[in-house]
Chains A and B, each alone.
Chain A
Amino acid sequence: MSEAIVVEDLCKSYGDVRAVDGVSFTVYTGEIFGMVGPNGAGKTTTVECVEGLRRPDRGTIRVLGFDPQRDGYALRERIGVQLQEAALPDRIRVDEAMSLFASLYPRSVDWRPLLEQVGLTDKQRSFFADLSGGQKQRLFVALALVNDPDLIFLDELTTGLDPQARRAMWDLVRGMRERGKTVFLTTHYMEEAERLCNRVAIIDHGRIVALDTPENLIRSLGAEQRVVFTADGGWDGAVLRGVPGVTRVERIGERVVVYGRGERLVGGVVGALERMGVRFRDLHTEQPSLEDVFLALTGREMRE
């Protein structure tokens, strides 16, 4: 696997505040790499140093073989950037923006299919100011793809979008990976990182506190999964405690929560219920999530 981004010991302070404090990581070609953490954790500063838009105080960065500070212009020809805070002039039309940005790159693709992809074809004569938040965000994604970049940066892509628009964005990002692009995204939605990313770096107070695949991060937590269902009373809950993997059973009225580990937990619980002839409803499992990982690593809940 070749390396798209290599960051070593990146530091950046604003006044007395150490926004990024010794961050190192590698992003490999073809993966979706996520940097997650609460607002103000240092995500955007890291990304913007990697893009060459901010000058780090210390550390080395290589992006597609370029030094972003020295070869920033050459680098920006090959990357696509969606910034957390950006705008276009109010009265630029969508199609004008697309064709203008396409003209700023030595190599660009036909922008019409890109607008189609992000679902803005019927908005192409609209002014930027007249677009909704989600439409603006989709336009910025299309702009980030106009130079057919090898590496795409998405900074807080779905912040402020409604759930439906967020899901549509996720499909777009997966589409980028399918076309062989490398994606570096930041988010403060753990669910987003879990669903999209091949690997995730959890960042807090300017430091990476964990970096692995979402599955490994969750597994490393050793947290229990839960089997939850509703059942009428009149059966012995102790039987479930005998099922392999089960550690604990909670009953609150008709609602039952079985805690445990192992891949056969669900099958075991369902089998035991069947054998006892218990009629159960609404059975589902609850997996530990990256949210739990963050809580375990930092002792704090992620807040939006």
Chain B
Amino acid sequence: MRGLTKLTLVQMKLYLREPVAAFFTLFFAPLMLLLFGFIYGNDPVPIFGNRGMMDVSVPAYMALIIATVGLMAVPIGTASRRETGVLRRFRATPLRPTAYLISEVAVYFGMTLLGVLLLIAVGRAVYDVRFEGRLLDVIVGFALASASFLTTGYLIASLAPTARVAQVVGMIVFYPMIFLSGATIPLQVLPETVQNVARFIPLTYAVRLLQGLWFGDPWGDHLREVAALTGLLVVGGIAAARTFRWSAD
């Protein structure tokens, strides 16, 4: 137990010491918020149901952070630790593999949460964004979406033969997803074709669920989103558990 706590603390430090990962997890979304806020402001507009651009962007960017950690940090981190032999070194200690994974997932989840809290803080402080939902609902929705995408990240790491491939696959999945799901640009302002494509993109469901819960929708309005994310979590989780490798050979 002492080992697990220690490992989690060290992993947290390691995450924050990677400048790229730390920047994209913690500062990228708040900076985007400031940038788009500067351009569009936060005046209520009919297209967003009489809410402002910043109001809808904060929950959407939560999904962006979730995707950043799940689809970029997890595959690259996991595959490169497998490739260089970090995982093998831990395997040669009495540390249980599940304990290692629990600590790692806790850190990824914690970093995602930290990024989201920073985002909300900036949104509240600078644009006084509206929050009309219930805190517990948003936390549960956030946890579900985050778990689904962390799992996807582990699956990508497992399927990719090398760290380089994991990185490329992560990017190929990540970039179209963040632009076509409403995680960066609201779907409402995009053409109908894009909105149709968006239905096939898992991140769309995270954006919709988080926006819905943020503005106080009941869960009943979002069963489809919950089903999609839970499906991703379960299917991805089983596949990742079956294909996970501790060593490159």
Interface readout for B8-46 with A: 1 if CB under 8 Å, 0 if not? 001001100110000000000000000000000000000
Let me know if B6 is at the binding interface, CB within 8 A. yes
Let me know if B81 is at the binding interface, CB within 8 A. yes
Segment from A95-103, A184-192, A219-227, A278-286 that makes contact with B: A95-103
Let me know if A81 is at the binding interface, CB within 8 A. yes
Q: Decide: A85 and B88 in contact? CB cutoff 8 A.
A: yes
Contact A96 to B10, CB < 8 A, known contacts A76-B92, A105-B94: yes
Number of A-B contacts (CB under 8 A): 62
Q: Decide: A81 and B6 in contact? CB cutoff 8 A.
A: no
Contact A101 to B93, CB < 8 A, known contacts A83-B85, A91-B17: yes
Q: Decide: A100 and B7 in contact? CB cutoff 8 A.
A: yes
Contact A85 to B93, CB < 8 A, known contacts A91-B17, A100-B10: no
Residue of B2, B92, B96 touching A83 (CB-CB under 8 A) = B92
Q: How far is the CA of A83 from the CA of B84 in the complex (A)?
A: 12
Q: How far is the CA of A83 from the CA of B248 in the complex (A)?
A: 14
Q: Decide: B6 and A91 in contact? CB cutoff 8 A.
A: no
Let me know if B191 is at the binding interface, CB within 8 A. no
Let me know if A234 is at the binding interface, CB within 8 A. no
Q: Decide: A85 and B7 in contact? CB cutoff 8 A.
A: no
Let me know if A267 is at the binding interface, CB within 8 A. no
Write out the residue numbers on chain A whose beta carbons fall within 8 Å of the beta carbon of B6.
99-100, 103-104
Interface readout for B79-101 with A: 1 if CB under 8 Å, 0 if not? 00100111011011111100000
Let me know if B3 is at the binding interface, CB within 8 A. yes
User: Which A residues, 69 to 118, have Cβ-Cβ distances below 8 Å to chain B?
Assistant: 73-74, 76-77, 81, 83, 85-89, 91-92, 96, 99-101, 103-106
Q: How far is the CA of A120 from the CA of B138 in the complex (A)?
A: 49
Q: In angstroms, how far is the closest chain A Cβ from the Cβ of B74?
A: 15
Let me know if A276 is at the binding interface, CB within 8 A. no
Interface of B, helix, strand, loop or mixed by DSSP: helix
Let me know if A53 is at the binding interface, CB within 8 A. yes
Closest to B1 in A: A103
Q: In angstroms, how far is the closest chain B Cβ from the Cβ of A302?
A: 24
Let me know if A51 is at the binding interface, CB within 8 A. yes
Q: How far is the CA of A106 from the CA of B95 in the complex (A)?
A: 10
Q: How far is the CA of A105 from the CA of B93 in the complex (A)?
A: 8
Q: How far is the CA of A89 from the CA of B96 in the complex (A)?
A: 18
**Most chain B CB within a 10 A radius of its CB, from A74, A86, A89, A103:** A89
**Most chain B CB within a 10 A radius of its CB, from A51, A100, A140:** A100
Q: How far is the CA of A175 from the CA of B89 in the complex (A)?
A: 24
Closest to B96 in A: A73
Q: How far is the CA of A129 from the CA of B6 in the complex (A)?
A: 21
Contact A85 to B3, CB < 8 A, known contacts A91-B14, A104-B93, A104-B94: no
Residues of B within 8 A of A (CB-CB), count: 21
Q: How far is the CA of A53 from the CA of B96 in the complex (A)?
A: 13
Residue of B7, B17, B86 touching A88 (CB-CB under 8 A) = B86
Contact A53 to B93, CB < 8 A, known contacts A100-B6, A100-B10, A103-B6: no
Q: In angstroms, how far is the closest chain B Cβ from the Cβ of A304?
A: 22
Q: How far is the CA of A155 from the CA of B13 in the complex (A)?
A: 30
Write out the residue numbers on chain A whose beta carbons fall within 8 Å of the beta carbon of B18.
91
Q: How far is the CA of A83 from the CA of B85 in the complex (A)?
A: 9
Contact A89 to B86, CB < 8 A, known contacts A99-B6, A100-B7, A100-B10: yes
Q: Decide: A104 and B95 in contact? CB cutoff 8 A.
A: yes
Q: Decide: B10 and A53 in contact? CB cutoff 8 A.
A: no
Q: Decide: A73 and B94 in contact? CB cutoff 8 A.
A: yes
Write out the residue numbers on chain B whose beta carbons fall within 8 Å of the beta carbon of A106.
94
Q: Decide: A53 and B7 in contact? CB cutoff 8 A.
A: no
Contact A103 to B88, CB < 8 A, known contacts A91-B17, A91-B18: no
Contact A86 to B86, CB < 8 A, known contacts A53-B91, A91-B17, A104-B94: yes
User: Which A residues, 106 to 148, have Cβ-Cβ distances below 8 Å to chain B?
Assistant: 106, 140, 143
Closest to A127 in B: B17
Q: In angstroms, how far is the closest chain A Cβ from the Cβ of B66?
A: 23
Q: How far is the CA of A96 from the CA of B2 in the complex (A)?
A: 14
Q: Decide: B14 and A89 in contact? CB cutoff 8 A.
A: yes
Q: How far is the CA of A140 from the CA of B7 in the complex (A)?
A: 18
Q: Decide: B14 and A76 in contact? CB cutoff 8 A.
A: no
Q: Decide: B95 and A88 in contact? CB cutoff 8 A.
A: no
**Most chain A CB within a 10 A radius of its CB, from B3, B6, B89:** B89
Q: How far is the CA of A86 from the CA of B13 in the complex (A)?
A: 21
Closest to B2 in A: A103
Write out the residue numbers on chain A whose beta carbons fall within 8 Å of the beta carbon of B81.
87, 89
Q: Decide: B88 and A53 in contact? CB cutoff 8 A.
A: yes
Write out the residue numbers on chain B whose beta carbons fall within 8 Å of the beta carbon of A101.
93
Contact A87 to B85, CB < 8 A, known contacts A100-B6, A104-B7: yes
Known: A73-B94, A96-B10. 17 other contacts (CB 8 A): A53-B88, A77-B94, A83-B88, A86-B89, A86-B92, A87-B81, A87-B89, A88-B86, A89-B81, A91-B18, A99-B6, A100-B10, A103-B6, A104-B94, A105-B93, A105-B94, A106-B94
